[in-house]
């Protein structure tokens, strides 16, 4: 026996025998019983599960449904039959497709929607199978306790729906069209614009698909239509402009026209239509418009051609100088000139073409005021005295020649020449014809005398030349006759108080438009020219009035050289003469070269020294007219 050292009052322990009680055997049996019971329960559960699995082998587990049909305990064929009998979606589901006020309807079946019962049943059969024992048991228990609805397997064949939508598109689709305008045969025509519309089949199918797959019934599908706006919505503005252009003719007229003015003229609608163009213009923002314009070049050509006949040259007033009062007396009033302003008139026409209310257009003219008007005074013009007068004689002239001298001289009576102006004899002579008062007579043409209109005009041109010669004006153009003419050699002149004889070599021939007489008024004063025709004295006098510049003309000559004797007389037959009658129409003169010199001084200064006026005259035979058949054969 052992003691516990160090602990006072303790007694050594000694072993005691264990006592057996009545509970001890049960304490040993109870765990064994529990284990046995648990094992029994597990066995029974396994047995139940096994029997359950055997019971539903090939059958749908409890709690599983599809499309509202309880499929519990059904095999595949039973379930498919039940679902097929239940499915009416294809016929009963009708979809409405809408585009504004228009609509189209189609059943789900016709749209390609079908139900697949086999896939649906196969899905039901898969619930609680194939995922492992415990997972399968859990799924079976959940389906039994809570129910499990299988989504029906619906097949949507979109090609059928697309085909249906394509048929709708044939009714909806419209091409985009711009408004148009045209002008044909003077008629304006328009067509309205059209908004382009195109059914978007793919996008509309996108809206239909979820509705079908959710097996919705009675749904309305708004068709997706793409619209394209026309670039030109309206062409009426252009059309109205065209209608205005061809509505009525445009009249062109001369405002305050005189009796001699031509016109008026009309621009017809057809002519206007031919000038018009219609052009489509892009605005740069997806829109466009029509521009209507007129090519006025034809009108410009018309106006340019018209301009010549409408031009009126300004005409100076014509005067006489009163020797007593030293004032001017009007013998013909001045006339304002005009020239057509083509550009301004064209602009006015352009403004009228598209304007219904403006169908008359007045021609626009530039007004040209004459340098010398009817109210001009002697003091204003510097016409204060006579500076020169020249006289030639026409003894023996025929009545026709005398008439022509008088008519031609009247063209220069009262004429005013401005300072610096170049005088042209042909310019003021005008047309030489019977219509302007001239008669037919003998005229020198080249190196022969022939019958023509205006014989005697050179009497006037030679007299004017002599007045300009002795007045000291610069001579710019002068031609001598082909042979010497006595009418022009017997004249005289008085210039600045000094007397002169004309003599040979101071004649001047003219023949419009190639042969002219020209001189320049190189003084600061206007020059007034008058003509005096004296039939009784058979003389013509030309006077110049201006203000003296102190000029003095010195004449040298004529100097004659290279004399060529004239030939024998010539005879011409004339039906105007009877046998025995004879008429001399030309006189014999020798050919000769003549030089006349002119020196001009002014206030003691020489301003022109020995100007040479040269004339070459051909020899000329006497010419006689006789009756037909009476011309002499020997004229020696």
Q: Give the 3-state secondary structure percentages of the chain, helix then strand then coil, rounded to 5.
A: 30, 35, 40
In sequence order, the β-bridge partners of residue 534 are 539
Does 586 score more than 70 pLDDT? Answer: yes
pLDDT band at 23 (very low <50, low <70, confident <90, very high): low
Average pLDDT over residues 273-293: 94
pLDDT over 90, % of the chain: 61
Nearest CA to 244 out of 353, 364, 373, 129 is that of 353
Average pLDDT over residues 241-259: 93
Q: What per-residue confidence (pLDDT) applies to 445?
A: 55
Q: What per-residue confidence (pLDDT) applies to 9?
A: 42
Q: What per-residue confidence (pLDDT) applies to 26?
A: 61
Q: What per-residue confidence (pLDDT) applies to 449?
A: 59
Does 1 score more than 50 pLDDT? Answer: no
Distance from C-alpha of 434 to C-alpha of 456, rounded to nearest angstrom: 14
Distance from C-alpha of 451 to C-alpha of 253, rounded to nearest angstrom: 44
pLDDT band at 444 (very low <50, low <70, confident <90, very high): low
> End-to-end alpha-carbon separation of the chain, Å?
221
Please tell me the total number of residues recorded for the chain in this structure. Answer: 636
Q: Could you tell me if 475 and 467 are in contact, meaning their C-beta atoms sit under 8 angstroms apart?
A: no
Helical H segments across 279-373, by residue range: 297-310, 342-353
Judged by DSSP in three states, 503 sits in coil
Judged by DSSP in three states, 309 sits in helix
DSSP letter, residue 436: G
pLDDT digit string (tens) for 174-226?
999 999 999 998 899 999 999 999 999 999 999 999 888 787 777 899 999 99
Distance from C-alpha of 169 to C-alpha of 160, rounded to nearest angstrom: 14
Distance from C-alpha of 351 to C-alpha of 294, rounded to nearest angstrom: 10
pLDDT over 70, % of the chain: 92
From residue 466, alpha-carbon distances to 156, 223, 401, 516, 542 in Å are: 122, 107, 20, 15, 9
Q: Could you tell me if 105 and 111 are in contact, meaning their C-beta atoms sit under 8 angstroms apart?
A: no
pTM for the structure as a whole: 0.60
In sequence order, the β-bridge partners of residue 394 are none
- Residue 434: phi and psi, rounded to 5, are -60, -30
Average pLDDT over residues 26-40: 73
CB atoms within 10 A of CB 58: 8
Helical H segments across 354-419, by residue range: 378-381, 399-410
Distance from C-alpha of 510 to C-alpha of 519, rounded to nearest angstrom: 14
Per-chain mean pLDDT for the chain? 88
Q: What per-residue confidence (pLDDT) applies to 5?
A: 36
Q: What per-residue confidence (pLDDT) applies to 392?
A: 96
Record the tokens describing residue 634, joined without a space.
Answer: 């020997």
Does 521 sit behind a cis peptide bond, omega within 30 degrees of 0 on the bond before it?
A: no
Distance from C-alpha of 352 to C-alpha of 362, rounded to nearest angstrom: 11
Does 319 score more than 80 pLDDT? Answer: yes
Of these ranges, 102-116, 384-398, 445-459, the one predicted with the greatest mean pLDDT is 384-398
Q: What per-residue confidence (pLDDT) applies to 90?
A: 75
Helix 117-126 vs helix 76-86: crossing angle, to nearest 10: 130
> What one-character-per-residue DSSP string does 247-269 give?
SSPEEEE-TT--TT----EEE-H
Average pLDDT over residues 559-582: 91
From residue 429, alpha-carbon distances to 11, 26, 378, 407, 508 in Å are: 189, 174, 25, 9, 14
Q: What CATH class is the domain 236-368? A: alpha beta
Half-sphere exposure of 227 (CA within 13 A, CB side): 6
pLDDT band at 630 (very low <50, low <70, confident <90, very high): confident
pLDDT band at 289 (very low <50, low <70, confident <90, very high): very high
> What one-character-per-residue DSSP string does 462-490 give?
HHHHHHHHHHTPPEEE----SS--GGGTS
Annotated domain spans of the chain: 43-175+196-225, 236-368, 382-626
Q: What per-residue confidence (pLDDT) applies to 2?
A: 36
pLDDT digit string (tens) for 458-515?
999 999 999 999 999 999 999 999 989 888 998 999 999 999 999 999 999 999 889 9
Does 17 score more than 70 pLDDT? Answer: no
Per DSSP bridges, beta strands 570-573 and 623-626 are parallel
Cα 74 → chain centroid: 90
Torsion angle, alpha carbons of 521, 522, 528, 532, to 10 = -50
Cα torsion angle, 405, 406, 410, 412, sign:
positive
Residue found by looking up tokens 């009262």 in the block: 414
Record the tokens describing residue 52, joined without a space.
Answer: 């359950």
Distance from C-alpha of 297 to C-alpha of 304, rounded to nearest angstrom: 10
């Amino acid at each position: 026996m052992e003691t516990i050292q160090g602990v006072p009052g303790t007694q050594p322990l000694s072993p005691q025998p264990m006592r057996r009680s009545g509970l001890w055997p049960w304490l040993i049996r109870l765990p064994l019983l529990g284990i046995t019971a648990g094992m029994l329960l597990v066995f029974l559960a396994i047995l139940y599960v096994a029997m359950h699995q055997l019971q539903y082998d090939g059958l749908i587990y409890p709690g599983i449904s599809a499309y509202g049909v309880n499929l519990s305990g059904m095999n595949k064929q039973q379930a498919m039959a039940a679902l097929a009998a239940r499915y009416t979606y294809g016929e009963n589901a009708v979809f409405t497709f809408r585009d504004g006020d228009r609509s189209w309807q189609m059943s789900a079946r016709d749209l390609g929607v079908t139900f697949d019962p086999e896939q649906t049943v196969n899905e039901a059969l898969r619930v609680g199978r194939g995922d492992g024992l415990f997972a399968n048991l859990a799924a079976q228990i959940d389906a039994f306790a809570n129910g499990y609805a299988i989504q029906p397997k619906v097949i949507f064949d979109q090609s059928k729906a697309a085909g249906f939508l394509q048929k709708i598109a044939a009714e909806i689709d419209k091409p985009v069209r711009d408004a148009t305008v045209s002008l044909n045969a003077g008629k304006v025509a328009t067509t309205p614009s059209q908004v382009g519309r195109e059914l978007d089949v793919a996008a509309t199918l996108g809206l239909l698909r979820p509705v079908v797959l959710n097996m919705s019934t009675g749904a309305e599908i708004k068709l997706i239509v793409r619209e394209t706006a026309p670039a030109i919505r309206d062409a009426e503005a252009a059309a109205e402009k065209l209608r205005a252009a061809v509505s009525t003719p445009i009249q062109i007229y001369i405002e305050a026209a005189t009796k001699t003015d031509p016109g008026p003229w009309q621009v017809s609608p057809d002519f206007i239509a031919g000038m018009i163009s219609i052009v489509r213009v892009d605005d740069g923002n997806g829109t466009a418009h029509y521009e209507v314009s007129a090519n006025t070049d034809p009108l410009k050509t018309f106006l340019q051609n018209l301009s010549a006949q409408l031009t009126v040259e300004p005409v100076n007033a014509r005067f006489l100088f009163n020797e007593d009062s030293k004032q001017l007396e009007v013998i013909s009033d001045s006339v304002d000139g005009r020239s057509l302003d083509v550009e301004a008139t064209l602009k006015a026409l352009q403004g009228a073409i598209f304007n219904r209310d403006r169908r008359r257009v007045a021609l626009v003219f530039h007004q040209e005021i004459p340098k010398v008007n009817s109210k001009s005074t002697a003091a204003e013009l510097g016409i204060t005295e006579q500076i020169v007068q020249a006289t030639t004689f026409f003894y023996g002239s025929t009545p026709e020649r005398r008439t022509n001298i008088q008519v031609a001289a009247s063209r220069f009576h009262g004429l005013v020449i401005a300072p610096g102006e170049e005088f042209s004899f042909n310019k003021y002579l005008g047309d030489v014809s019977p219509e302007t008062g001239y008669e037919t007579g003998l005229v020198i043409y080249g190196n022969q005398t022939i019958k023509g209109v205006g014989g005697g005009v050179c009497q006037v041109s030679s007299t004017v030349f002599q007045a300009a010669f002795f007045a000291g004006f610069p001579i710019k153009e002068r031609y001598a006759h082909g042979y010497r003419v006595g009418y022009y050699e017997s004249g005289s002149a008085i210039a600045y108080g000094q007397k002169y004889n004309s003599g040979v070599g101071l004649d001047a021939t003219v023949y419009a438009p190639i042969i002219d007489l020209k001189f320049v008024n190189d003084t600061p004063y206007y020059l007034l020219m008058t003509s005096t025709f004296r039939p009784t004295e058979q003389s013509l006098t030309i006077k110049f009035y201006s203000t003296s510049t102190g000029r003095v003309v010195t004449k040298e000559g004529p100097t004659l050289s290279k004399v060529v004797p004239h030939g024998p007389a010539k005879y011409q037959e004339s039906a105007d003469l009877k046998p025995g009658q004879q008429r001399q129409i030309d006189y014999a003169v020798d050919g000769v070269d003549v030089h006349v010199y002119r020196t001009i001084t002014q206030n003691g200064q020489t301003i022109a020294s020995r100007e040479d006026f040269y004339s070459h005259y051909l020899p000329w035979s006497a010419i006689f007219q006789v009756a037909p058949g009476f011309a002499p054969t020997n004229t020696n």
